[in-house]
Amino acid sequence: MPIWFGTDKSGGIVSRINSIRGSVRGHYSRIEEHDGSASTNLASTTLDGGCFPARSAYSCSPDCGTQAHITPLEVEIHHFLSRWTVLVILICAIVDAILVMYMVLGSQTSVKSLSTLETRSPYVNFGDLYKDPNFKQPFHAPILALPRLSIPVSSSNPWKVFPPINDEAILTDRGFWINTEIHTILQFRVLDYGMENCSLALHIPPFTGVNASSGLVISELHSPIVDVWLLEAASKLDIHSLSWNTRPKRQAHIGTFNITYGSEQELEGLTCRSGSYITFELSCASVDCSIDIIRTARQATGFYMIQHQTK
């Protein structure tokens, strides 16, 4: 029952409070002895209509009119749940931090590896169309593809990265440069659908005077036998890191060219998938060769690739 306080003319408020406190302590002491408890701390007294709830085994109801009993088992459950709640929150925070780090590092990795992503074919369902026995396949003449990249690498300076040449500059800049120390890397993009037989070709127009020919300027042409190697590079090369030491591995020797004025030559065709890249390395076939040819026109002169119909 709640304990109310008022003025007492005979004894005074203080003595009445002390008397009531003693009675309450005795009452709770008997309860604790009955439950086997060691001790019970009492809550502070409110003078304006409050009550004296116990801290450990008993508590007042909201209206302070009744007392609710809390068993040791309930206390233990409360402590257990509190500990596990803190542990779960800590684990969630650690997992969130790991996910954030993974996303940051993963985004950096994806940016670095964009050039290795597969290029989706724009020719959707063309394969099913060509498999149809009732489909009459049209004839397509061979198409020509100019190199997307033409970059020299040096064995005497194996980590040197030569200035990058973009797709447009290559059409009016250096065609290829080859000597005993310098090799040239050529990369092509396979165009169109069903034109998946690719061959590397060379066209040197007739001599027109002063080491020049139509579309080319030949500044050096000594012992002009060139070996051609197919490289293991299925994706676009990184022109900002391409050097002798980082160039792709050689896959196979596919032929030689004899670079002379007024000649057109073509190597045996290779299987090439539409939308992919195909990469070659040009090197001297003899120890004393020196070739330096500059492309001066947007036309099929120097090295280019021919694609023949396969479907």
Q: What is the CA radius of gyration of the chain?
A: 44
- Please state which architecture CATH assigns to domain 142-308: Sandwich (2.60)
- In 3D space, the residue among 293, 260, 303 whose CA is nearest the CA of residue 173 turns out to be 293
Residue-level pLDDT at 310: 86
Residues 79-95 have pLDDT tens digits of: 888 889 999 999 999 99
CA–CA dist 213, 304 (Å, integer): 17
**pLDDT level of residue 127 (50, 70, 90 thresholds):** confident
Residues 151-174 have pLDDT tens digits of: 999 999 999 998 754 444 444 445
Burial class (CB in 10 A: 0-12, 13-18, 19+), 106: exposed
Structural domain boundaries of the chain? 13-70, 142-308
**Running DSSP on this structure, what letter comes out for residue 1?**
-
Q: Report whether pLDDT(273) > 60.
A: yes
Residues 211-265 have pLDDT tens digits of: 555 556 666 676 688 999 999 987 889 888 899 999 999 999 999 998 888 888 9
Q: Is residue 187 within 8 Å of 278, Cβ to Cβ?
A: yes
CA–CA dist 69, 51 (Å, integer): 16
Question: What is the value of pTM for the model shown?
Answer: 0.60
More confident residue, 269 or 109: 269
Residue-level pLDDT at 125: 78
Exposure string for 27-52, b = 16+ CB within 10 A, e = fewer: ebeebbeeeeeeebeeeeeeeeebbb
